[in-house]
Amino acid sequence: MGGYSLWASFLASLLLMVVFLFGSSQATGIAVYWGQNGNEGSLADTCASGNYQFVNLAFLTTFGAGQTPALNLAGHCEQASGTCTTLSDQIKGCQNQNIKVLLSLGGSVGSYSLASADDAGQVANYLWNNFLGGQSSSRPLGDAILDGIDFDIEKGTGLYWDDLARALAGFSSQKKVYLSAAPQCPFPDGNLSTAIDTGLFDYVWIQFYNNGQCQYADNNAANLLERWSQWTSVQSNQIFLGLPAAPEAAPSGGYIPPDALISQVLPTVKSSSKYAGVMIWNKFFDQGYSAAIKGSV
């Protein structure tokens, strides 16, 4: 009897240790946007590079307010002709390598908005049935089930994105729907702050580029680090430093050379318990950037 109690106590302690090690820590990694240049290589090759833990398929550029939803994946495929279904096996291949693949909504161009909370619910239903765990006869990416939805909302009023997040999160009772947000670095973000405040977003990758007031400039990281400190207060346990992969990726600035990132920026941002990695914009411009930093992320 005493031996059994001792053994049970040992197992309980072991279980607590496992929970502590794997539950309290979080995996760090690199997220990348793919889909905005037909010359960036295939999705399969992107995942096979070993550089990324998350891939955002960019973008669903048309949706909401009664519009027929439409993908824009640049030169990779055409939704209207059904050729984007060829991505299905590549998506599954990425997921088999433990890479999460999300569909990114919005972007800097396109036609998207939400007219009401009911409209948000209709968009959520469309996303669930056409890209996530639901069923539809017209799934643009074939039968692959994406891991979640990314909000890269850069236009409009900021209304009803919280309703969309709640509606999508509601489907997690059937199959987990990961939610990510890509706000601009000025704090708080006018389009996404209300949505992020719901606490439903698993990942928040902040765009520290094309925003002069909070980006790296002239070999100086002070503005970026000051704003990063503000972002650590948001209702998400995993926040990422969003960066351009090359100067050309961010015409309005924010590029940080890999050596400067590793020496001037990462030591400070990694001190936050919410730090979870780096987001890269985008795959086309990533000609060695992620490979140069992944050992330090």
CA dihedral 175, 106, 272, 208 (to 10 degrees): 160
Tell me the helices (H) and strands (E) count for the chain, helix number first.
10, 10
> 199 CB contacts (<8 Å, ≥6 apart)?
235, 236
239 bridge partner residues: 204, 275
248 catalytically annotated: no
CA angle (255, 49, 293) in 5-degree steps: 35
Q: What is the DSSP letter of 217?
A: B
> Which three-class secondary structure state does DSSP give residue 181?
strand
Catalytic residue (choose from 40, 78, 154, 226): 154
From CA 246, how far away is CA 255, in angstroms rounded?
6
Name the residue with tokens 């997220």.
Answer: 31
- In angstroms, what CA-CA distances link 195 with 60, 124, 159, 199? 18, 14, 9, 8
Q: What is the DSSP letter of 167?
A: H
Name the residue with tokens 């509601």.
Answer: 170
For 50, counting Cβ atoms within 10 Å of its Cβ (0-12 exposed, 13-18 middle, 19+ buried), the class is exposed
> 8 CB contacts (<8 Å, ≥6 apart)?
none
From CA 154, how far away is CA 76, in angstroms rounded?
23
Taking residue 5's Cβ as centre, other Cβ atoms within 10 Å add up to: 9
Q: Which residues are catalytic?
A: 154
